[in-house]
Structure 1
Amino acid sequence: MTEAVRRVEPDEFRWSMPSPVAGEVHAIVEAAERADGAAPLDEAVLLRLRNHGIAGGALLVSDDPPVGFAWVHDGDLAVVVHPDARREGRGRDLVEMALESADVATAWSHGNHPGAARLAEAFGFTRERDLWVMRRSPRDLPELPAAPDGVAVRAFEPGRDEDAFLALNAEAFAHHPEQGRMTRVDLDERMAEAWFDPEGFFVAESTQLDPGRLVGFHWTKVHDGPPPTGEVYVVGVSPTVQGSGLGRLLTLAGLHHLAGRGLGEVLLYVESDNAPAIAVYSRLGFTHADADTHVQYRRGPAATVSPAPA
């Protein structure tokens, strides 16, 4: 372990009023995204750092000022090295100290970065999940189908729908390792983001059996860019109405909404082994390029570390 890597104390890091460390973390993230074409931290990590700081986790930085950092929270590791400082062994040093400082079970590589693959192999991580990014133009969309009998689609209403949405989300994603665990705090943090637009958050409610119960939703999102890009943020349908065509209706409702925003592209994320969802999205014109993949690695038994820097 190199002495150039140190652990940051919680009172050193304030995202909303950037300290020197937070400012450097911002700069490293932005430079990595420009170089790699993919954000190196996912939304959950950014929300955690912005809203809760680094308490309860471990933030490690390489050199002063930092040219790389590692963040560990709930057993998940993220490592980001500035493009100008790569292939000097900094990523390796950060991973080594992270493994000594905290219990690490998983790590994500956003964009399937080859340097991440080398580090994963060196430290005994194996490839466990592939998360695809699928994309399409919002032009030439299929027409909206009719709603299934007994179901009405409307916009989400803040102050009314939160609890019903969370119950439906837990039901629809009962086996999903991240989405199914969404809490009210998680929801409130996302609704407080500048991108949140209830007009782009569609919910389907029952009008016959159990009137008013939410049975499906499609939450859309717009990324500022440049250029601005739409996202099928999350689509969920209750198991009680699967096969009714509601998922397709909700997806198209959101796509038509995003098309009305004048965006050039819409993207979505889907697990690579979710064949039914991929089939639906493919029929709707979404495509996937092999390089447009995020990879989750899981750490196995201790391994002999390779000397190759990353």
Structure 2
Amino acid sequence: MDIQTGDIETGDIEQIAAAAEAADGAAPLDEATWLALRHHPERVRRWASEHGFALLIGDELTLVVHPDARARGEGASLLDGVLAKASGPLSAWSHGDHPAAAALAKRHGFDRVRELWVMRRPSSVPLPPLREPEGVAVRGYRPEDAEELVRVNAAAFASHPEQGAMDEANLAERMAEPWFDPAGLLVAMDGEQLLGFHWTKRHSPELGEVYVVGIDPAAQGRGLGKALTLAGLHHLVDGGAREILLYVESDNAPAVAVYSGLGFEHASADTHVMYRWG
């Protein structure tokens, strides 16, 4: 099968990805990949087959084949092409824990190393009332908060490989996305000090997301996590969201317990899996 390097346009990627999402019920490209394609295309290595593509950004691989062309060996050929050029370990996400992805990963020596859960709650489940911790005010984001937001984010996600790396340039790229609403980025303030934030996201008028909740480690123990999460949930529900989702590491038992207590549930099919090779 003919595999070409570097000759697939972003528009073709969008079309194949949209078809895969419609068939599978899960988007095959994550936000970081789309941001790289739009803002830093020079960082994206590309492979193309007749009906599919593979992308490599750093050590993270994305591979998608159009639903109408699956089970013909095209995915395996694309993966062989990438691995032939790989100079070190690779990781790849299967969004939705797709059985074909699991089989392809196993045949090529990828190990299952990480699970990310999607948890959901309907807005019909009543929310607890919002109570701000003593001495703390929750408000919407202002441009002058950028530096402090990046600082708190870096401290809160120091061990997180994706979120923790956000700098002011990446923050600006995310804020340039069509969905960004400064009123939906809630910050907890103690006077002039930013203690934490809850960044909400709207996928549609009826679907909202707990996008990022970050608390300065120095401010832990003040009830900020629950208060900010609730503030964001009220914001989304008051704005018309019928369902709210979030992503959480499957082994983060304390976070899963908090979200479960707020009415979020996880279905086994709502699982994203990371595979590792090399």
Shorter chain as normaliser: what TM range? over 0.9
Whole-angstrom CA distance in 1 between matches of 2:156 and 2:61: 27
| SS at structure 1 position matched to 2:127 | coil
Instruction: Provide the residue aligned with 1:116 in structure 2.
Output: 101
Give the drift of 1:264: 1.6
Residues 206-237 of structure 1, C-alpha deviation per residue, up to 9 Å, x if partnerless? Answer: 23xxxx1211100000003xx74100001011
Instruction: Provide the residue aligned with 2:4 in structure 1.
Output: 6
Say whether 1:186 aligns with 2:170. Answer: yes
Say whether 1:133 aligns with 2:106. Answer: no
Instruction: Provide the residue aligned with 1:105 in structure 2.
Output: 90
Give the drift of 1:287: 0.1
For residue 152 of structure 1, what is the amino acid of its counterpart?
A
* Conserved? CA contact 2:135–2:190, under 8 Å: yes
* Conserved? CA contact 1:58–1:102, under 8 Å: no
Say whether 1:90 aligns with 2:74. Answer: yes
Give the drift of 1:177: 1.1
Whole-angstrom CA distance in 1 between matches of 2:206 and 2:95: 20
Say whether 1:172 aligns with 2:156. Answer: yes
Whole-angstrom CA distance in 1 between matches of 2:97 and 2:131: 39
For residue 219 of structure 1, what is the amino acid of its counterpart?
W
Instruction: Provide the residue aligned with 2:194 in structure 1.
Output: 214
For residue 47 of structure 2, what is the amino acid of its counterpart?
L
Q: Count the aligned residue pairs.
A: 277
Instruction: Provide the residue aligned with 1:198 in structure 2.
Output: 182
Which moved further from structure 2: 96-105 or 38-47? 96-105
| Percentage of matched positions with identical amino acids | 54
* Conserved? CA contact 1:5–1:62, under 8 Å: yes
Whole-angstrom CA distance in 1 between matches of 2:128 and 2:12: 47
Give the drift of 1:129: 0.6
TM-score by length of 2: 0.96
Instruction: Provide the residue aligned with 1:305 in structure 2.
Output: none
Q: Which runs of 5+ in 2 are unaligned?
A: none
Residues 5-32 of structure 1, C-alpha deviation per residue, up to 9 Å, x if partnerless? Answer: 10015xxx6xxxxxxx333211100000
For residue 265 of structure 1, what is the amino acid of its counterpart?
E
Whole-angstrom CA distance in 2 between matches of 1:239 and 1:121: 39
For residue 162 of structure 1, what is the amino acid of its counterpart?
A
Give the drift of 1:98: 0.7
Rg larger in structure: 1
Residues 150-188 of structure 1, C-alpha deviation per residue, up to 9 Å, x if partnerless? Answer: 221111102x01110000000111111111111112111
Whole-angstrom CA distance in 2 between matches of 1:228 and 1:75: 35
Say whether 1:262 aligns with 2:240. Answer: yes
| SS at structure 2 position matched to 1:288 | strand
* Conserved? CA contact 1:138–1:258, under 8 Å: no
For residue 168 of structure 1, what is the amino acid of its counterpart?
V
For residue 19 of structure 2, what is the amino acid of its counterpart?
A
In the TM superposition, 1:28-67 aligns within 5 A as 28-53=16-41, 55-63=42-50, 67=51
| SS at structure 2 position matched to 1:106 | strand
Instruction: Provide the residue aligned with 1:231 in structure 2.
Output: 209
Instruction: Provide the residue aligned with 2:133 in structure 1.
Output: 148
Give the drift of 1:57: 2.8
In the TM superposition, 1:283-298 aligns within 5 A as 283-298=261-276
* Conserved? CA contact 1:6–1:61, under 8 Å: yes
Give the drift of 1:132: 0.2
For residue 217 of structure 1, what is the amino acid of its counterpart?
F
* Conserved? CA contact 1:58–1:101, under 8 Å: no
Whole-angstrom CA distance in 1 between matches of 2:239 and 2:189: 25
For residue 268 of structure 2, what is the amino acid of its counterpart?
D
Give the drift of 1:143: 3.1
| SS at structure 1 position matched to 2:105 | helix
TM-score by length of 1: 0.86
Instruction: Provide the residue aligned with 1:162 in structure 2.
Output: 146
Considering only aligned residues, what root-mean-square deviation do their CA atoms show, in Å? 1.4
For residue 241 of structure 1, what is the amino acid of its counterpart?
A
* Conserved? CA contact 2:125–2:263, under 8 Å: no
* Conserved? CA contact 1:138–1:256, under 8 Å: no
Residues 82-101 of structure 1, C-alpha deviation per residue, up to 9 Å, x if partnerless? Answer: 00000100000011101112
* Conserved? CA contact 2:127–2:234, under 8 Å: no
Whole-angstrom CA distance in 1 between matches of 2:98 and 2:45: 23
Whole-angstrom CA distance in 1 between matches of 2:80 and 2:168: 35
For residue 78 of structure 2, what is the amino acid of its counterpart?
L
